[in-house]
Amino acid sequence: MLKNFSILLLLISLTIFAKSRPEIAKEEKEDSIKELFKKNEITYPSEIFLRALKLEKKLELFVKKEGKFQLLKTYPICASSGDLGPKRKQGDLQVPEGFYHIHHFNPVSNFYLSLGVSYPNESDKTLKTGRDAGGAIYIHGDCVTIGCLPLTDEPIKELYTIASESVKKQKKIEVHIFPCDFNSEKCQKELKNYPQHEEFWKNIKEGFDYFDKNGKLPKVTINKNGKYIIKPNLSK
């Protein structure tokens, strides 16, 4: 009886004092993160912005410096599902496209760590083609996906740590997801294969172009028809 009680106490102690995944990630990655920011002469932490390009399989990390965002690092997206074009219903395997933000930090994800993307937004809900627009879209570890953005474990440790610190500097972390880099010839050629999305892509390209030109995030609202309304960001 005493032996069993001792084992139970040991297990409880191990559970209490075990480090969480975010703690482990921070311990492993914080020094290299600080060095990356220092090398680019950016204070850590600072405001960040994430932009995903589906065709190129890239997740771009931008950091604000002197009032404008600059590209700090690009993470390869290691797996993808669906085609170019927005997500319109539950189970279509599509990665969403549009304007979102991080709305959930999951420290016990099935894919090590994950950052929840705020899909579906009001545009997605209005334009859905099924009864349910779907949900549970994450940027996460591992290398499997049914509509998410997987980076594998080591990159998500770094990005999760950066994002966890950046929320001390900003109300929300915006995430914009596009079919591809609208500035590239490869992108323009590929988009011609999906004429059904032409009007939608023209709409979200306004936000893409505004950011590329100004280094600032546009003000994005959604009208009753699900269209994005892109306006200048006049804040410093």
pLDDT, average across residues 87-112: 97
Task: Give tens-digit pLDDT for 25-60.
Answer: 999 999 999 999 999 999 999 999 999 999 999 999
Query: Side chain identity at 155, as an amino acid letter?
Result: P
**3-class secondary structure, 111:** coil
pLDDT over threshold 50, residue 11: no
Q: Class of the 18-181 domain?
A: mainly beta
Per-residue model confidence as pLDDT tens digits over 219-233: 999 999 999 999 999
Considering 103, 148, 187, 197, which one is annotated as catalytic?
A: 148
Query: Has this prediction a pTM greater than 0.85?
Result: yes
Active site residue 197: no
| Distance between CA atoms of residues 177 and 191, nearest Å | 15
CA angle 193, 181, 100 (to 5 degrees): 100
Mean pLDDT, to the nearest integer, of 97-116? 98
- Peptide bond connecting 45 to the previous residue in cis, omega within 30 degrees of 0: yes
Q: Which pLDDT band holds residue 64 (cuts at 50, 70, 90)?
A: very high
Residue spans per domain, the chain:
18-181
> Of the listed 101, 103, 104, 140, which one is catalytic?
140
Q: Which of 114, 113, 139, 99 is nearest to 222 (CA)?
A: 99
Active site residue 78: no
pLDDT band of 1, cuts 50, 70, 90: low
